[in-house]
Amino acid sequence: MGKKVLLIGSGLGSLATALRLSHQGYEIDIVEKYHQAGGRLNTMEKDGFTFDVGPSFFSMS
Ligand SMILES: Cc1cc2nc3c(=O)[nH]c(=O)nc-3n(C[C@H](O)[C@H](O)[C@H](O)COP(=O)(O)OP(=O)(O)OC[C@H]3O[C@@H](n4cnc5c(N)ncnc54)[C@H](O)[C@@H]3O)c2cc1C
């Protein structure tokens, strides 16, 4: 039976860990409490303005 890993949260740390472990043959599950993946690599919108939550240039144009 393959090894399984459960990662809590889908921020950069979790996504990078998932990539590395999946290359080593692990089966990965990720649970995320927010409505989209990425953690601080996201933006939020309010009143027509868009704000970086963190270093969004990593993942967005
Ligand atoms: C304004 C700003 C600018 C930055 N600029 C840079 C930069 O230029 N260069 C750089 O290298 N770094 C930068 N950083 C730091 C970088 O964003 C963080 O170090 C990195 O994104 C953290 O990733 P993480 O996976 O550890 O955590 P996070 O991105 O915080 O991800 C954690 C995830 O876990 C989820 N979560 C938490 N608790 C639970 C739970 N109980 N159940 C399910 N899910 C849960 C959260 O919703 C989130 O999606 C910046 C940060 C900020 C805020």
Pick from 30, 40, 59 the residue to mutate for probing ligand 1's pocket: most ligand atoms within 8 Å of its CB.
Answer: 40
Confidence of residue 54 (pLDDT cuts 50, 70, 90): confident
Confidence of residue 4 (pLDDT cuts 50, 70, 90): very high
Full-model pTM: 0.88
What's at 32, amino acid-wise?
E
| Alpha carbon nearest to ligand 1 atom 18, residue | 40
Structure tokens at 16: 């990078």
What is the four-CA torsion angle of 46, 33, 28, 57, rounded to 10 degrees?
A: 20
The model's pLDDT over 17-36, given as tens digits with 9 standing for 90+, comes to 999 999 999 999 999 999 99
DSSP 2-47: --EEEEE--SHHHHHHHHHHHHTT-EEEEE-SSSSS-TTS-EEEET
Residues with CB under 6 A from ligand 1: 8-14, 31-34, 39-41, 54-55
